[in-house]
């Protein structure tokens, strides 16, 4: 799940310049709005670790990510839809990542927390750096 999420993140962010340019949009808007959304929600939800049912929270956030990707497919040059995509993607992906890290640490066996978090980081970076290489 971490690898797939990181691949979606890498795909959405690495190809923004080409995508936005072809539609007459400003790719800097995406990066600015996405970053501000992630930082704002990270600060607001700093102590939130998924609630009573973190699996439901993650599922809901993944639906938000999927919704933003579907919306992304239908943007034909509408700047406001492009901004909405950036906000939804920032909420869905930006909030789900720290919750996934927390869940990973909680679900790991007592003596394997460090190794589990290293594997989490490895799969994340494999998705971030490997997907653009494969997709490009």
Domain range enclosing 108: 2-135
* Helix or strand holding residue 55 (H, E): helix 54-73
> Per residue of the chain (136 residues), what is the pLDDT tens digit?
666 777 777 777 778 888 888 889 998 998 899 989 988 988 887 677 777 888 898 889 889 988 988 988 888 888 999 999 999 999 988 888 888 888 888 888 888 999 999 988 888 888 777 777 776 6
d(CA 24, CA 104) in angstroms, rounded, equals 41
pTM of the model: 0.80
Alpha helices, DSSP H, located in the chain: 2-14, 16-22, 27-44, 54-73, 79-107, 113-135
Residue 1 pLDDT: 64
Q: Which pLDDT belongs to residue 97?
A: 81
What's the structural domain count of the chain? Answer: 1
Encoding tokens for residue 69?
Answer: 């990707």
Strand, helix or coil for residue 136: coil
> What are the structure tokens assigned to 89, written together?
């993607």
């Amino acid at each position: 799940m971490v690898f797939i999420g990181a691949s979606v993140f890498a795909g959405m962010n690495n190809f923004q310049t080409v995508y936005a340019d072809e539609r007459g949009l400003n790719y800097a808007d995406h990066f600015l709005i996405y970053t501000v959304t992630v930082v704002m929600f990270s600060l607001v939800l700093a102590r939130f670790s998924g609630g009573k049912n973190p699996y439901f929270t993650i599922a809901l956030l993944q639906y938000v990510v999927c919704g933003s990707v579907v919306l992304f497919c239908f943007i034909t040059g509408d700047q406001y839809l492009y901004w909405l995509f950036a906000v939804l993607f920032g909420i869905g992906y930006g909030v789900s990542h720290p919750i996934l890290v927390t869940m990973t640490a909680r679900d790991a066996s007592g003596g394997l927390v460090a190794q589990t978090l290293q594997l989490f980081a490895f799969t994340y970076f494999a998705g971030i750096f490997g997907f653009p290489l494969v997709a490009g």
